[in-house]
Amino acid sequence: MSPVRRGKDLPIFNRLQVLRAERGLTRAALAEAVEVNPQTIGALERGDHYPSLDLAFRICEVFGLPVEAVFSRNPFTPLSTQVYGSRQEGTE
């Protein structure tokens, strides 16, 4: 088995908490859907644990999204910034 680089060198960011909230899912409900413990979902959300490729695919199936929409090597910008841009209302 090859070593896995983790931590500060190659972090994996995710949108799990936001996606769960949008869909009204608890950690327990998501955990049941992907067949892991609720603690695993919490550890993923906090960045304490990174998913296996299999788990990442199962999570993405639940949300109906591609992997890159849920997980990334770069921090996600807030969804509001992506939707509305960086302009403030009333400024041009």
Q: What is the CATH number of the domain that holds 33?
A: 1.10.260.40
Q: Write out the two tokens for 76.
A: 């996600």
At 9-50, the pLDDT tens digits run: 789 999 999 999 999 999 999 999 999 999 999 999 999 999
Give domain status of residue 8, yes or no. no
Report the candidate in 15, 42, 11 with the shortest Cα–Cα distance to residue 26. Answer: 42
Q: Residue 1: inside a domain, yes or no?
A: no
Q: What does the block give as tokens for 73?
A: 């090597």
Of 12 and 80, the one with more pLDDT: 12
Give the CA distances from residue 87 to residues 23, 75, 78, 82, 84, in Å, rounded to whole numbers and listed in that order.
Answer: 28, 20, 14, 11, 7
Domain interval for residue 66: 13-84
Domain count for the chain, please give it.
Answer: 1
Higher pLDDT, 71 or 88: 71
Is the residue at 71 inside a domain?
Answer: yes
Residue 23 belongs to some domain of the structure? yes
